[in-house]
Amino acid sequence: MRYILLFICIIFFGTTPAFSKASYGRADSRAYRVPTQYNDNLDELVVYLIKPFEKNEELKARVLFAWIVYHIQYDDYEFKTQYEWSRDKKDITCKKGLCMRQTPQDTFKIRSGVCRHFADLFHYMASKAGLKSEIILGISQGQGHAWNAVFVNKKWHLLDTTWAAQSKNAFIGIKNDRAYKRAKEIRERKAKSNRIKGSKKINEQWFFPNPKKFYQTHKPHDEKWSLIK
């Protein structure tokens, strides 16, 4: 009997996300378990996610943040093969002839992207939820990076969905553009049936962090977005 209980515990905890502190538990749970009917339309998904939190700006921001962390994976193949840093190292741009601008809807459909796509998606979803949001470009770990600021309870707060996700590469083993295109088509079909999951755990230090601590790793090009007075 003891071994049976141990086995059940391993199965349960091995397949259940580690929801965050109690104040965000309800939002995180809703973000993780989304009915398949909301997998075709990004705007409808936003409405579903924020419905219980209409009067709470912080939880609206949290449920959107959590959905991205749980469902979007990093696209290392695209970053390495189809993007390059601009000359001033302030943003990533497409290599000529290799890629097109990925919209928030594209990121939603294939459940993957680079940091700028993570930030674009949060900005779009926050705007649809009635929250003021900004996409912030800067330097992190010596490279260009993108994250967000959101205006909640009369104050700007910082967040980084890419780093909070700690997700695995979405396209492991892909060696050429043809295989990459095919893999994206497969991901889009899987996404509609909720068969794609990103991280099961949110790295809390990247949601509403202390600006001074955040600045140690994230240097915005526009200093006002350090939020350090």
Per-residue pLDDT of 94-106, as tens digits, reads 665 555 578 999 9
For CA atoms 85, 156, 60, 126, the dihedral sign is negative
Q: Quote the pLDDT of residue 14.
A: 41
Task: List % helix, strand, coil for the chain (3-state, nearest 5).
Answer: 50, 15, 30
Tens of pLDDT, residues 151-208: 999 999 999 999 998 767 788 888 888 898 888 888 888 887 777 777 778 999 999 9
Exposed e or buried b per residue across 49-74, where buried means at least 16 C-beta atoms within 10 angstroms of its C-beta? bbeebeeebbbbbbbbbbbbbbbbbb
Tell me which residue of 225, 38, 115 sits closest to 50, measured CA to CA.
38
Q: How far apart are CA 134 and CA 157, in angstroms?
A: 10
Q: From CA 227, how far away is CA 155, in angstroms rounded?
A: 10
Per residue in 104-154, pLDDT tens?
Answer: 999 999 999 989 899 999 999 999 999 999 999 999 988 888 999 999 999
Calpha distance 123→135 (Å, rounded): 7
Which helix (H) or strand (E) covers residue 219, if one does?
strand 219-220
| Tokens coding 29 | 């749970």
The answer to whether 44 touches 129, Cβ cutoff 8 Å, is no
Closest CA to 75 of 45, 113, 41: 113
pLDDT band at 90 (very low <50, low <70, confident <90, very high): low
**Which domains are seen in the chain, by residue range?**
21-226 (3.10.620)
Q: Where are the beta strands (DSSP E) in 47-191?
A: 73-74, 83-85, 92-94, 112-113, 132-140, 143-152, 155-159
Q: What is the pLDDT of residues 50-77, one digit of tens each?
A: 999 999 999 999 999 999 999 999 988 8
